[in-house]
Amino acid sequence: MYYNDSLDDSDRCRVFNIYVAPALKNGELFKQMTKTKTTILFSYDFSSDVFELKGIYSFDGLRKMYIKEGYENLFISATNQLNMTKTNAIKSINICIFQYAPRGSFAPSLYKFDKNIKETDINDTIMRPTIPPTTVYNEWFSNKNLKSLINWDILTIKEDVGDDLLVFIINENRKDNSTYVCSPNDYIKACEEAIVPQDMIELIKSEHQKGPLIIVNVINYLRDYFLLVHYHKNGDQYEYTFVSSPNDSSL
């Protein structure tokens, strides 16, 4: 059961899948709960892409955190909808996320789990809205614009990744870049958890079957944008073939 205020359902699921579930994975936070403190509180800021643990709170302690934000009314609305009271809140495992949306609005989510649920069950309860079937074109993150982010003339590939994917992550909110090697299955699983449209997932699968593949993955407010690139070595140089993403004719 959950209560969500104003945040898009797919964004709510992305925050839970990408940040909350891994934070719960080893079960250490559950061990820190007490008889009365049964709510784990996190925060996530979309603009800076910063996720933090705020603490573990009692029913009244969580109310005070809402009041500190100036939104006691949302606490009342959430707990009423979940039939959560000071008396019965200690009988459940509760997860709250204070989300600060792209335009700065406060959009908390409150989840209520049965107290005897296993930690692995919570991690397996990946929040999955209906995955969109098709990619929506965004001209700011078109294939053409993503291609311009990398100087392909001087790009050097230093390792043979075999059957794995070479992934370039460009995080627009954190203003940082990273490169890593990932198995296709692990990358597809990450895409599913991030609610990537189905046609893009299928394109990644099919292009991987055609040969060595670079994925340029730009992240902006937890939304993913992609450019797929095949590469092969010709003498001392690499040659690249760029693949158009669904509904994108900008290349």
Q: Where are the domains of the chain?
A: 2-124, 139-243
Instruction: State the pLDDT at residue 26.
Output: 80
pLDDT greater than 60 at residue 8? yes
Instruction: State the pLDDT at residue 233.
Output: 84
pLDDT greater than 60 at residue 169? yes
pLDDT greater than 70 at residue 122? no
Instruction: State the pLDDT at residue 104.
Output: 76
pLDDT greater than 90 at residue 129? no
Instruction: State the pLDDT at residue 130.
Output: 77
Lowest mean pLDDT among 42-46, 170-174, 179-183: 170-174
Dihedral, CA atoms, 187, 188, 191, 196, nearest 10 degrees? Answer: 140
- Secondary structure of 80-107 in HEC code, one letter for each residue: HHCCCCCCCHHHEEEEEEEEECCCCCEC
Residue 128's pLDDT band, with cuts at 50, 70 and 90, is low
Instruction: State the pLDDT at residue 190.
Output: 92
pLDDT greater than 60 at residue 119? no
Distance CA 72, CA 62 (A): 10
* Segment 60-77 mean pLDDT: 96
pLDDT in tens, 189-232: 999 989 999 999 999 999 999 999 999 999 998 899 999 999 98
Strands 39-45 and 92-100: parallel
Which of 28, 51, 27, 31 shows the shortest CA–CA distance to 41?
51
Q: Coil, helix or strand for 165?
A: strand
Long-range contact set of residues 20-25: C-beta below 8 Å, sequence gap at least 24: 20/95, 20/97, 21/122, 21/123, 21/126, 23/51, 23/53, 24/95, 24/119, 24/122, 24/123, 25/119, 25/123
pLDDT in tens, 97-113: 999 987 778 999 999 98
pTM of the model: 0.84
Distance CA 190, CA 14 (A): 10
Q: Which one-letter DSSP state was computed for residue 140? A: G
Strands 109-114 and 92-100: antiparallel
- 8 A C-beta contact, residue 58 and residue 37: yes
